[in-house]
Amino acid sequence: MKDIFKAPFIIEMSETTANMYRQGWDERNGGNISCLLDENEVAEYLDLNCVIRTIPTKFDAKKLAGKIFLVTGTGKYFKNVTKDPETNLGIVRISADGTMAELLWGYKDGGKFTSEFPAHMMSHIARLEVDPNHRVVAHSHPTYTIAMNTVCPADEKDFTHKLWQSNTECVIVFPDGVGVLPCMVCGTEEIGIATAEKMKSHRIVVWTNHGIYGTGKDLDEAFGLIETVEKTAQIYMLSLGHVVNVIPDKTIKGLADLWNLTIMEGVIDA
Ligand code: 13P
Ligand code: ZN
């Protein structure tokens, strides 16, 4: 068996959580990440017949039966993952009936996966249905995105438009727009279902007054989506009350045409 502490998926997860912490997006235990792993790759590091313990999923995860995920632990701090990945992360396999997560590695102190496990797993189901290469769901609390929620309506077309108008990269990076949920109780199956519904047509979902979900085929892609929204939210908040120029709809349309992108419907007039 190879040394799991040298596995690319553990190293990349450690680097990403540290990086998100350094951005100021993940105070205390804020944020959580889950990555769908390749079974053959995991088998190079772990005996897949050795289940340490089982943890109830508390929702129907049957569509993910047999799939293996690397998931941050609940209550764990992103800043601490690098120095102790085995306590702060876990590798779980969804049981055949979808009611249990079989712990294959990690959560060394007796811990368990993030409280947002339903939103993560349901989002994986939704994204895998539209993109077979999908692998990562990352949740974070970026400051300016949450600040934008306090001054903007919780309306996804309006929110997307404001971002597309504030930074020319936005329509290119997320032509599918940003899904927006109203402020809801987090950590529940209900918010998981609502998030997954948005994930059918968006790779980014904002939880009003709470944070953001970014998804993608790898950690870079999920991180990059969050980073682009957050940078643009910062531009929006810095210029609030002093706006002289926004990107006109015809330029947003021109950018989308140039890059041959299909954009979210109903956001621009052009
Ligand atoms: P966890 O510590 O359970 O991952 O929760 C953090 C969080 O961001 C809740 O939304
Ligand atoms: Zn959160």
Residue 104 has pLDDT above 80, yes or no: yes
Q: What's the gap in Å between 141 CA and the centre of ligand 2?
A: 6
Average pLDDT over residues 29-42: 98
Q: How far apart are CA 107 and CA 7, in angstroms?
A: 17
Catalytic status, residue 221: no
Confidence class of residue 191 from pLDDT cuts 50, 70 and 90? very high
Average pLDDT over residues 225-232: 98
- SS3 labels along the chain: CCCHHHCHHHHHHHHHHHHHHHHCCCCCCCCEEEEEECHHHHHCCCCCCCCCEEEECCCCCHHHCCCEEEEEECCCCHHHCCCCHHHHEEEEEECCCCCEEEEEEECCCCCCECCCHHHHHHHHHHHHHHCCCCCEEEEECCHHHHHHHHHCCCCHHHHHHHHHHHCCHHHHHCCCCEEEECCCCCCCHHHHHHHHHHHCCCCEEEECCCEEEEEECCHHHHHHHHHHHHHHHHHHHHHCCCCCCCCCHHHHHHHHHHCCCCCCCCCCCC
Q: What's the gap in Å between 254 CA and the centre of ligand 1?
A: 39
Average pLDDT over residues 149-159: 98
Ligand 1 site, CB within 6 A: 29-32, 74-75, 114-116, 139, 186
Active-site choice (102, 116, 156, 227): 116
Nearest ligand, measured from the Cα of 31:
1
Average pLDDT over the chain reads 98
From the alpha carbon of 115, which atom of ligand 1 is closest?
3
pTM above 0.85, yes or no: yes
Helical axes 219-239 vs 156-166, angle rounded to 10°: 80
Q: What's the gap in Å between 210 CA and the centre of ligand 2?
A: 6
Residue 39 has pLDDT above 90, yes or no: yes
Residue 258 burial (C-beta neighbours within 10 Å; 0-12, 13-18, 19+): exposed
pLDDT of residue 29: 98
pLDDT of residue 270: 77
Residue 218 has pLDDT above 90, yes or no: yes
Average pLDDT over residues 121-139: 98
Beta-carbon neighbours within 5 Å of ion ligand 2: 211
Residue 89 has pLDDT above 80, yes or no: yes
- The token pair at 75 is 């209550």
pLDDT of residue 65: 98
